[in-house]
């Protein structure tokens, strides 16, 4: 018997609303906002949470002065169209691209995330 169920992943950020809107649009999940906290949820129950952190400092990927601590990989059918879509949502493409079957981007709060080929 499990001690707990699937954990909620919470990303620290300077503006939870902005980050929730970004990931909500990326994944086509429902967005909910509270004062210093926002959530996105899939119809099938998965979710991500975003909390406001004062004096937030974005990771400096790929360096380790401010390590990424965690990142999200999402699967796409086509890297070029996926890239165009996330850039339109407000992501930036990371300067360092270490692979050919995935691309690294930074969300609006500076967290690295990857678009990966299926």
pLDDT in tens, 93-102: 999 999 999 9
Number of neighbouring beta carbons within 10 Å of residue 90:
15
The full set of domains in the chain, from first to last, is: 9-54+68-117 (3.10.180.10)
The structure's pTM equals 0.81
What tokens appear for 118 in the block?
Answer: 């299926």
pLDDT in tens, 8-39: 788 999 999 999 999 999 999 999 999 889 99
Sheet holding 72-76, edge to edge: 72-76, 112-117, 102-106, 92-93
Secondary structure (3-state) at 11: strand
Taking the mean position of all CA atoms in its chain, how far away is CA 99? 19
């Amino acid at each position: 018997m499990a001690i707990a169920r699937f954990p909620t992943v919470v990303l620290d950020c300077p503006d939870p609303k902005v980050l929730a809107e970004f990931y909500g649009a990326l994944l086509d999940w429902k967005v909910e906002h509270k004062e210093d906290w926002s959530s996105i949820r899939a119809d099938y129950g998965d979710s991500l949470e975003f909390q406001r952190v004062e004096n937030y400092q974005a990771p400096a990927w790929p360096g380790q002065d401010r390590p990424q601590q965690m990142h999200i990989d999402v699967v796409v059918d086509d890297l070029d169209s996926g890239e165009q879509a996330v850039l339109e949502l407000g992501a930036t493409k990371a300067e360092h691209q270490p692979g050919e079957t995935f691309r690294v981007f930074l969300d609006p709060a500076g967290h690295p995330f990857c678009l990966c080929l299926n």
